[in-house]
Amino acid sequence: MRNGEMKLMTGRSFPRAMGHDFAGVAEAVGAGVTRLKAGDAVLGPARFRQAGAFGEMVTAPEKAVVLKPVDLSCEQAAALPTVGVTAYQAAAEIRPGQAVFVNGCLGGVGRAAAQFARARGASVAGSCRNPATDEAREFGVEPVVGFGFDPAALAERFDLVLDTPGMLPFAAARTLLKPGGTIVDIVPTPAKMIRSALPGPFRAMMGRPVTGDLEEVARTLRLPIARTVPLAEAIPALTALECEQRPKGGNWSSPWPEAKPGRAKGVS
Ligand SMILES: NC(=O)c1ccc[n+]([C@@H]2O[C@H](COP(=O)([O-])OP(=O)(O)OC[C@H]3O[C@@H](n4cnc5c(N)ncnc54)[C@H](OP(=O)(O)O)[C@@H]3O)[C@@H](O)[C@H]2O)c1
């Protein structure tokens, strides 16, 4: 978004406000708002095009704001909305006994999707940078493979392949699928949107702020926080995250020789 790579969805007007997910206290509610009142502790995502959650105050539509559980700090609550709702909706069709592969299972959406899929009674396998660590196994992901895994070794095992960094080549994802399974990619590009509209297993997906889904996310999902910074340091923090991931002057690297470089790291 900062680089303007998502102008199709975020709008073409720059500079733009940053920050989508928020938690805090409702200062005021608009006429006709019945579910919430001033003084409520809440969480949610700001409007996608408007953003602005890096400000002291932000507005959001009522349907995208839910009560913050009392056991969550604002920092914990603000980590949940976008990744939580996206993962929840990506896992919506999963049935007990099904099998799911989460590419990037230690990212925000990946962790959340693995938890929702397990809660729906599915088995979850996934990829992460260092499969030797037990972090993914600790929340039930098995087997855990590295980013450059051989899809043939896991052929036709999964009902859902969720590609969270949007970097899995289509042929690799299809190899993993059982007949009738679905590939969900959450990093849409124009080419992926076209593929998604065609018949076949591939779907490009955007999470939508649905009140009931947000409430379920707030009630059940808990994510670890790597670091907190004051709002004034939000932009330098984004820059630092980007620099950790992106080689200077280059693109995200892909372990898949046939894949075009894409974006692997997102910040909501
Ligand atoms: N469509 C939607 O509605 C929606 C909603 C939320 C997010 N997104 C997008 O979805 C993406 C993921 O979001 P996120 O919040 O989960 O980001 P994230 O927390 O940065 O997670 C991305 C994960 O992908 C991993 N990864 C990096 N390179 C990889 C590779 N080659 N193969 C497999 N995994 C790889 C990363 O591992 P390392 O940390 O080890 O690098 C990280 O665990 C971002 O691009 C974001 O913009 C879309």
pLDDT tens, residue by residue, 206-223: 999 999 999 999 999 999
Pocket test for ligand 1, best of 20, 49, 111, 164 (most atoms within 8 A of CB): 164
CATH of segment(s) 7-79+223-245: 3.90.180.10
pLDDT tier, 114 (very low <50, low <70, confident <90, very high otherwise): very high
Mean pLDDT score of the chain, rounded to an integer? Answer: 91
Judged by DSSP in three states, 45 sits in: strand
Mean pLDDT of 59-82: 97
pLDDT of residue 265: 39
Whether 83-204 and 7-79+223-245 are alike in CATH topology: the answer is no
Q: How far apart are CA 250 and CA 242, in angstroms?
A: 11
Ligand 1 binding pocket (C-beta < 6 A) is 82-83, 86, 103-104, 106-110, 127, 129, 147, 164-165, 167, 186-187, 205-207, 245, 254-255, 263-266, 268
Domain with residues 83-204, CATH architecture:
3-Layer(aba) Sandwich (3.40)
State how far the Cα of 131 lies from the Cα of 135, in Å rounded to an integer: 9
Residue identified by tokens 């590609």 is: 163
Question: Are 83 and 108 in contact, with CB atoms under 8 Å apart?
Answer: yes
Distance 115 CA to ligand 1 centre (A): 16
| Residue nearest to ligand 1 atom 14, measured at CA | 108
Q: Provide the terminal-to-terminal Cα distance of the chain, rounded to the nearest Å.
A: 9
Which atom in ligand 1 lies closest to the alpha carbon of residue 205?
A: 1
Question: What percent of the chain has pLDDT above 70?
Answer: 91
Cα separation, 118 vs 143, in Å, equals 14
Q: Which of 246, 228, 238, 213 is nearest to 89 (CA)?
A: 213
pLDDT at 149 over 80: yes
Where along the chain do its domains lie? 7-79+223-245, 83-204
- What pTM, to 2 d.p., does this model score? 0.92
